[in-house]
A and B are shown apart, each in its own frame.
Chain A
């Protein structure tokens, strides 16, 4: 018989008792950790709004949980009364001038109240006394007077802001380096780079200067020629007045009582008559095209019949060999398409 079956009662007894023992141990540990048996010391405070405040939320001092919010109520003046329970272990931390501030958790999770203890060595406040919050005038005054021990913020936003501050410092340092490099007062890589750029620009300047020395005489010669041409055009005895002179060659040619014009006109008339004749010929050819086509077709039919007759004669045994061979003569017309490639 298997062990479990044989000792079923013992196994089941252990199974159930161990579970119950676990439950009891968990409850005892919960009680100890949550201070179920510690009555603590009660205080009360006041806030402007209950946003972020819930009964049971922890009260922290430098990250340690020192108590809990017992209740949150709206009073007759529309202010929020908050009753706190401070654990006995931390009662001596509640010094006079202590202030409570609401600690907002990230994404609304993990919030609580922070106790900012008073800066003094006085004995702790009496139980059930008023602990001002940062929402109250008294709390703000205590903070303004520096009577409250405020630790440096160490939340996520502070960490992000610290990172931003570090980044900005880095950017500032970079800008200083760039500035000193531009001034030439530093001896880093950027300065070397800028000096190199400067040297390159100087070299370019000298190259351009040398090139300009060669180009300038040519440009001067072109400019001089243009000036000379312009002067000739403006000369009253130059080319233009000679062309426009009524006694000049051009005027003499043109002033011939329209003889030149008439000759040109007669040539154009003859050309016109020739073109009219060509057009008439073209029209005649267009009209005669069917007849020409018929003649060509008849000629082709006749040639085919003649070819048949010649074939018959060639095949006639009586006449076979009677026709003398002719030496073929190549055509004089030569077309590029007939070329062998």
Chain B
């Protein structure tokens, strides 16, 4: 006897049900992670060691590529910005630098790099652990995989994102100053003084909040998708691709929302 093919209504209903189920599951997962995060300090030193290693891999090891991108971005902005500002206003280049590096592209580019490096690594690692029944082994010996695996990664990625974003800003703005010396020399105190004058607390707050939110998004999307693996290693690449796609999409959406929330 052949199985009956579901009709359109049944398929739409099933898809909607899956969507709701996944959303509620994700919220439950986030809630569980947040609860375990507050209990992180009381956990054993092993989790702290995982956190340290996560910051090392996500933050310290990504510092070079982040700096490189920041330097190139700062160079481009000061080069073209100077041509524009000769027509508009001498101080306008500082506004461009702060808007592009501090408020918008700094946090977003950093998040893309972290998602591409650490997000992928986390999703792969956790899905492999699920497939090889390591998660079941943790549960069998009474270790909560959320507190031992997810929370250090969540904290590590989020802290690394904030730190990397600060280094991105520092590198980009310093590189702009250095490049400017080649075609339009500016005294250091004048350049950084003007930057500090134009930099508003709102811009700094927006940047820090974005990096915190992006860290949260990257770690949650990566770990949640990692746990979706079932039993086959062939699922791992699919899960990783899905995690990266969801991660990038969510990062852009969150970036737009935060930009709209923080006034200029």
Report which A residues bind B (CB closer than 8 A).
4-5, 8-9, 11-12, 15-16, 19, 22-23, 26-27, 29-30, 32-34, 65, 105-107, 109-110, 156
Contacts and interface: CB of A to CB of B under 8 A. Distances in A.
Interface residues of B, number: 27
B197 A110 contact: no
A23 B53 CA distance: 23
B46 interface: no
B107 interface: no
Contacts of B167: 19, 22
Contacts of A34: 196-197
Interface stretch (B14-22, B31-39, B54-62, B239-247): B54-62
Interface stretch (B86-94, B133-141, B213-221, B230-238): B86-94
Given A19-B162, A30-B201, A105-B88, A12 B60 contact: yes
Contacts, number: 66
Given A32-B196, A34-B197, A105-B88, A23 B60 contact: no
A193 to B, nearest CB: 42
B193 A11 contact: no
Contacts of B92: 109-110
A22 B59 contact: no
A34 B201 CA distance: 10
Nearest to B90: A110
Nearest to B194: A33
B165 to A, nearest CB: 9
A23 B89 CA distance: 28
Contacts of B88: 105-107, 109-110
A33 B92 CA distance: 17
A110 B89 contact: yes
Contacts of B159: 16
Interface in B153-183: 159, 162-163, 166-167, 170
Contacts of B55: 12, 15-16
Contacts of A109: 88-89, 92
Nearest to A105: B89
A29 B60 CA distance: 26
B52 A12 contact: yes
A15 to B, nearest CB: 5
B114 to A, nearest CB: 14
B214 to A, nearest CB: 15
Contacts of B59: 12, 15-16
B227 interface: no
Interface in B42-101: 52-53, 55-56, 59-61, 63, 87-89, 91-92
Residue from B52, B53, B163, B167 with most neighbouring chain A CB atoms (10 Å): B163
